Chains A and B, each alone.
Chain A
Amino acid sequence: MPHTTRRTFLRATLAGAAVVAAPLPLRAQPKTFKIGVIHPVTGPLAEPGQACRLGAQMAADAVNAAGGIRSKGGLQLELVLGDTQTKPENGRVEAERVVNQGARMLMGSFDSGSTAAMVSVAQQKRVPFLVDIAAADPITANVAKSVKDGQQKVQYVYRNFPTGSSFGRKAVQYFTEMFKEAGVSPKRVVLMYCNDLFGQSQSRGFQAAHKAANPGWDIVEVIPWPEPPSDLSTEVSKAKAAKPDIIAPITRPASAQLLLPELRKQRLDIMGVVSPGSPGLYEAGQIAALKEDLEHVATCVPWANFKNPKTNAVAEDFRKRSGGKTFDTNSGYSYDGIFIIADALERAAKLDDPDAIVDAMRKTSYGGGLMQYGGPVVFNELGDNPNAITTMIQILGGKPVAVWPKAAAVQKFVFPRPKA
């Protein structure tokens, strides 16, 4: 090992400090408009995070290929990418970094903790922020409240994603409508869920919405399991004892692989398995692993509008570039996010004033989204898009298909499921 003198040590330290301290950006070139796009690209949520990043990149490429922001002389979009590693503190660090590198808008960031940390940067530095994915209601509601109370002047945070509470409301609504459409009246629904952040919030939202809507069916039993589970036979026999008409499970991909076969083994006599929200059930890997057990299972998820030919083209391209993944919630909302930003930039009076961009954001009424919406993308008084909704999909013939609401349905649902 070479001899380290005090001098060489100091020199190395100073050099290191200079690297940290040096302003990273080469000052903003007026030729592009930089958007900070931050997702959990590594860490426990790396898979969806990478899908988000790819979706955003594909969208930016598409905007640029179509001539950029035309009203601003064909201004090109440039993404400044960030990675939260699923740690809230990195939401803050990365937002600061991309802004320092010249980003004039922010988009991200999948998990609600990092997103909340990014919100403070957006508000502090007046950088308009479009939340492409993150469900926790307070993220936008808190900022709206702060503005209403006069603590903050302008709301810089907007969201194009269903909020946590709307997930539950939509699920209850779709359950009720589908039962009616099918001409059956199941009474007893057993709610089962994975007891983690996702499962808790979904099940709570579902129960709250059920209470508020008071539909003609009851949640007769609520059964949580620790996630990831090693065995679900007790939980399923408990569910069976409640004599359910419907099993409504909120699963993660791993627990679905235990739950669905167990329902078959214990021969539950039910009309069907309808989930208020289970991500990833529709992935090719799940379908291959669960085969018949997954057939006719329905779940309520944010879903792309495959009636739109453009969606199919983008989804095909995405499949190629992602190594075979479905164009779904993550990639889809990030893809739409960039287009919504581009649309706002197109309409903004000027781009060097963040408040002008916010003005344009507020007046958004964008109909070109690839996801399934209940109407054009608009932002309400909280900064949320009330038309960002979920879709009921069903696995039919080994493929996930949108079945409800009617406007979104690609195929008629099969419910009650055929008796085996």
Chain B
Amino acid sequence: MKWAGALAVLGLLALPLTLSSYALTIFIFIFFYAFLGQAWNIVGGYAGQLSAGHAAFVGIGGYTAAMLSIEHGVTPWIGMFAGAVLAGALGALIGYLGFRFGLRGFYFVLLTVAFAEVCRILVSNIDAVGGALGLYITFTGNPRHFQFQDQRAYYYIALALMLLATGIAALIERRRFGIYLRAIREDEMAAEAAGVDAFRYKMFAMIVSSSLTGLGGTFYAFYLFSLQPNTVFGIPLSVEIIIRPIIGGTGTLVGPILGSFILTPLGELSRHYLGQSGLHGAHLVAYGLLLIAVVLFLPNGAYPWLRARFRR
């Protein structure tokens, strides 16, 4: 398994030598969503605390780095960490409210959605951060501005982000911390009875997850050159973040990555081949049907299914 992982990373490092810029773009989004999914996986998968508002952290991270860069000329290389800190702070606030007052299951989901929506509406109405129009970032192609003339730079950054989140998740998984999180997920009362400080570990997972997601916001902003409250704080993005680990297998290291390697190309290919046919929207139907099929036939996600097959 270890060797397979190392080989895969080496392969990915070498890929840009052969791929077109378009194929690189697809890989960039595969990595980026795998990264966001992995970050979510820490709190949503391992700890089993379903956050459906992770877009808020992308938004906070992106807006922080973008505002610092636009208004104060601070390089996003620093801004991204400021964004991560703020996203972590918001994560801590949501976590505190949710975990302190014992919101579980649907109630925690609602809390996270509500916070993301509040952020979206607030930002839409604050003129200083662009209101509903959002922020537009000047394309300079200057690496100091977290911008690159060459697509490969984005590729390696996105790959690094994915590996970073996966590394952190792997670290958590192997430590006692990871075991605590899984214990909490399986049966919180039993875990507490066994002496696990559930509140503390859930908070910790939430903060790690939200700060990481905040880092992703900067990448989003400086790769797509604009931020609109409806896109970066919206529910659709939250769903995009969650759906990959769910398809791939939540609470596993490989799940979010596998999910992203399945879904991103699937969306792209279906749009490309069905979208051209003039049947507007046929690709969305196909994409939806495939999603339903995966959920029906692989309820634990693709990775646990594959693992079971290989073990036989």
Contacts and interface: CB of A to CB of B under 8 A. Distances in A.
Contact of B281 (A46, A88, A93): A46
Interface of B: 18-26, 29, 124-125, 127, 131-134, 136-142, 147, 149-151, 223-226, 228, 230-231, 265, 268-269, 271-272, 275-276, 280-281, 283-284, 306, 309-310
A100 B269 contact: no
Given A6-B310, A23-B20, A142-B139, A83 B271 contact: yes
Nearest to A157: B139
A88 B310 contact: no
A313 B85 CA distance: 59
Shortest Cβ-Cβ A-B pairs, 3 listed? A138-B136, A151-B140, A100-B22
B224 A113 contact: yes
A85 B149 contact: no
Contact of B136 (A50, A83, A142, A201): A142
Given A88-B231, A136-B133, A145-B138, A112 B226 contact: yes
Given A124-B141, A136-B133, A24 B225 contact: no
A123 B139 contact: yes
A365 interface: no
A120 B225 contact: yes
A71 interface: no
Contact of B225 (A4, A9, A20, A117): A117
Contacts of A123: 139, 141
Given A142-B139, A145-B138, A100 B231 contact: no
A120 B139 contact: yes
Given A125-B21, A136-B136, A204 B224 contact: no
Contact of B280 (A16, A50, A125, A145): A50
B22 A143 contact: no
A139 B140 CA distance: 13
B131 A200 contact: yes
A42 B280 contact: yes
B217 to A, nearest CB: 13
8 contacts: A88-B228, A99-B21, A112-B134, A117-B224, A142-B138, A164-B133, A197-B134, A204-B127
A124 B127 CA distance: 31
Give the one of B131, B271, B281 with max A CB within 10 A.
Answer: B271
A21 interface: yes
A360 interface: no
A405 to B, nearest CB: 27
Contact of A96 (B21, B138, B230): B21
A6 B311 CA distance: 11
B131 A20 contact: no
Contacts of A125: 21
Contacts of B150: 124
A152 B21 contact: no
SS class, residues of chain B in contact with chain A:
helix
A151 B230 contact: no
Interface residues on A, range: 35 or more
B26 A83 contact: no
B141 A42 contact: no
B139 A117 contact: no
Contacts of B271: 83, 85, 90
Nearest to B32: A89
Contacts of A24: 22, 272
A77 interface: no
A92 interface: yes
Give the one of B124, B136, B147 with max A CB within 10 A.
Answer: B136
B138 A93 contact: no
A291 B89 CA distance: 53
Contacts of A92: 25, 223-224
A81 B278 CA distance: 10
SS class, residues of chain A in contact with chain B:
helix
A138 B225 CA distance: 11
Nearest to B144: A151
Contacts of A117: 224-226
A119 B226 CA distance: 11
A197 B138 contact: no
Contacts of B132: 195-197, 200-201
B166 to A, nearest CB: 20
Contacts of A204: 127, 131
A19 B137 CA distance: 34
Given A97-B272, A112-B133, 6 more contacts: A83-B275, A93-B268, A113-B231, A143-B139, A146-B138, A201-B132
A389 interface: no
A141 to B, nearest CB: 9
A112 B140 CA distance: 18
A41 interface: yes
B18 to A, nearest CB: 8
A366 B310 CA distance: 65
Contacts of B19: 21
A204 B131 CA distance: 10
A272 interface: no
Contacts of B284: 42, 85
Given A42-B280, A46-B281, A201-B133, A96 B275 contact: no
A124 B149 contact: yes
Given A145-B138, A151-B142, A197 B228 contact: yes
Contact of A20 (B142, B224, B268, B309): B268
B239 to A, nearest CB: 12
A414 B121 CA distance: 40
Contacts of A89: 29, 224
Contacts of A6: 309-310
A399 interface: no
Nearest to B151: A124
Interface in A13-58: 16, 19-21, 23-24, 41-42, 46, 50
B195 to A, nearest CB: 42
Nearest to B135: A138
A145 B145 CA distance: 15
A88 B226 contact: yes
